[in-house]
């Protein structure tokens, strides 16, 4: 079954604009931004997100920065800067595309060596451009969580991911695309802002962002050896690998925890358009797969973000069972084969947080991925949070994650707890 449905169930002004693209850099002959997809949700954002020059052939080049408007900043940030940079196309290493994001700086003097960096990877927002986190206010949960790190002296580099804000399809739940976006945001930010400490970078993410944060650490040694990810914090894990080796695996339940929830169809359209379709548009044409109700969701996804999509799906009373007009088993198989982690050996420590009443990313599925990481030799410090949901696990993890991060950055050895890892037991 595809990763999402088995595990997931989440005009601004332009002040102080600065452009940095170096015309002497090798350029791509054709901007990939021009390769629009009919169902990519393009438009609806201001001109900051559109780059009308050739895109540098090198990934991680800062193209443009802009002081962020107050509504998209954070209360504890001394300064917030939107960024536009180049990144590698997930399916063609010879091509680049533009990706947007935002950098938050903490208050207070810059410490010796610079501010340590949290490379924040966000959860599901949608596929339409206005769903880019740098283009909208943060949720109360994310504001609380990110403010914590700022208040403790960390800068935050937050990618929007390819295709959110910037033109083109957002490859949703595609670990390569997400990982490249996170790593290239770090590259661009470190080169642009000398007050950031390149030796103290930690990738942190929740839900979709858990996959992105883990992917950044997984890909860095080969894709971005110039970027050192010291550790990773991942909560509400939404990621999959078929390469589990001898790792114990817990049995999984139905596709959706609550099959009667019409909101499931909101996630399904994101999976179809953002995860399955980019792997083979000709083999996954909407006309061939979607019911009339599915078509209505497709149209709405071009402009609405996750919350609006879930409301629309419930108004339509469209259950997952009526979303498609044909069997999708083969589409599932192809998609999983094209988006799974090929292995899950991460060379740096990983902190995981799982809420035991998470109904959107099944705790058993999260355990299976953690178990696979352990079997692959990854050092994992796994935490269960009784009574916590997909969303509430994020703030709950602050009881443990900061100490983990501080220990790593202080050079202490993380031993992890793989040896005592057990399948989750639901607790209230």
Q: CB within 8 A of 219, min separation 6: which ones? A: 175, 176, 179, 180, 183
Question: How far apart are alpha carbons 269 and 203 in whole angstroms?
Answer: 28
Rounded mean pLDDT of 301-312? 96
Where do the domains of the chain lie? 3-243+342-420, 264-338
pLDDT tens by residue, 79-130: 999 999 999 999 999 999 999 999 999 999 999 999 999 999 999 999 999 9
Question: How far apart are alpha carbons 344 and 367 in whole angstroms?
Answer: 13
Q: How far, in whole angstroms, is CA 224 from its chain's centroid?
A: 18
Q: What is 3-243+342-420's CATH superfamily?
A: Alpha/Beta hydrolase fold, catalytic domain (3.40.50.1820)
Question: How far apart are alpha carbons 335 and 271 in whole angstroms?
Answer: 10
Quickly list DSSP for 18-78.
Answer: EE---TTS-B-SS-GGG---TTS----S-GGG---SPPBSSTT-EEEEEEPPGGGS-TTEE
So what's the pLDDT on residue 2?
A: 52
How many percent of the chain have pLDDT more than 70? Answer: 90
pTM to 2 decimal places:
0.93
pLDDT tens by residue, 23-78: 334 554 344 443 457 899 999 999 999 999 999 999 999 999 999 999 999 999 99
So what's the pLDDT on residue 22?
A: 52
Rounded mean pLDDT of 308-315? 94
pLDDT tens by residue, 118-129: 999 999 999 999
What is residue 22's three-state secondary structure? coil
So what's the pLDDT on residue 3?
A: 39
| 236, burial (CB in 10 Å: exposed 0-12, middle 13-18, buried 19+) | buried
Supply φ then ψ for residue 235, to 5 degrees.
Answer: -120, 150
Rounded mean pLDDT of 291-319? 95
DSSP H helical segments within 193-247, as ranges?
A: 208-223
So what's the pLDDT on residue 144?
A: 98
155 and 106 in contact (C-beta within 8 Å)? yes
């Amino acid at each position: 079954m595809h990763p999402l449905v088995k595990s997931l169930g989440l005009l601004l002004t332009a002040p102080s604009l600065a452009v940095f693209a170096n015309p002497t850099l090798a350029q791509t002959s054709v901007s990939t931004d021009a390769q629009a997809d009919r169902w990519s949700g393009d438009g609806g954002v201001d001109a900051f997100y559109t780059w009308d020059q050739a895109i540098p052939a090198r990934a991680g080049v800062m193209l443009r920065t802009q002081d962020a408007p107050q509504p998209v900043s954070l209360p504890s940030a001394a300064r917030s800067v939107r960024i536009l940079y180049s990144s590698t196309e997930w399916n063609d290493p010879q091509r680049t595309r533009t990706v947007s994001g935002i950098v938050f700086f903490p208050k207070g003097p810059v410490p010796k060596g610079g501010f340590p960096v949290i490379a924040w990877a966000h959860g599901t927002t949608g596929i339409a451009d206005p769903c880019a986190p740098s283009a909208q206010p943060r949720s109360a949960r994310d504001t609380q969580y990110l403010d914590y790190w700022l208040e403790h002296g960390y800068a935050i580099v937050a990618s929007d991911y390819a295709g959110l804000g910037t033109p083109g399809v957002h490859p949703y739940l595609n670990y390569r695309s997400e990982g490249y976006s996170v790593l290239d945001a770090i590259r661009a930010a470190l080169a642009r802002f000398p007050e950031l400490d390149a030796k103290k970078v930690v990738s942190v993410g929740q839900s979709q962002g858990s996959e992105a944060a883990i992917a950044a650490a997984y890909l860095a040694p080969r894709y971005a050896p110039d970027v050192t990810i010291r550790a990773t914090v991942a909560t509400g894990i939404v990621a999959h690998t078929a390469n589990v080796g001898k790792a114990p695996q817990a049995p999984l339940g139905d596709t959706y925890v609550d099959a009667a929830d019409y909101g499931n169809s909101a996630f399904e359209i994101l999976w179809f358009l953002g995860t399955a379709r980019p792997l083979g548009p000709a083999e996954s044409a909407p006309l061939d797969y979607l019911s009339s109700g599915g078509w209505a969701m497709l149209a709405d996804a071009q402009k609405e973000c996750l919350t609006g999509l879930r409301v629309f799906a419930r108004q339509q009373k469209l259950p997952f069972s009526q979303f498609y007009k044909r069997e999708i088993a083969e589409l599932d198989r192809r998609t999983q084969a094209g988006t799974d982690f090929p292995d899950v050996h991460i060379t740096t420590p990983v902190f995981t947080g799982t809420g035991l009443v998470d109904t959107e990313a099944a705790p058993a599925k999260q355990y299976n991925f953690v178990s696979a990481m352990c079997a692959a030799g990854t050092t994992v410090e796994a935490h269960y949070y009784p009574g916590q949901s997909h969303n509430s696990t994020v703030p709950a993890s602050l009881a443990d994650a900061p100490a983990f991060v501080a220990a790593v950055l202080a050079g202490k050895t993380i031993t992890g707890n793989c040896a005592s890892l057990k399948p989750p037991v639901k607790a209230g």
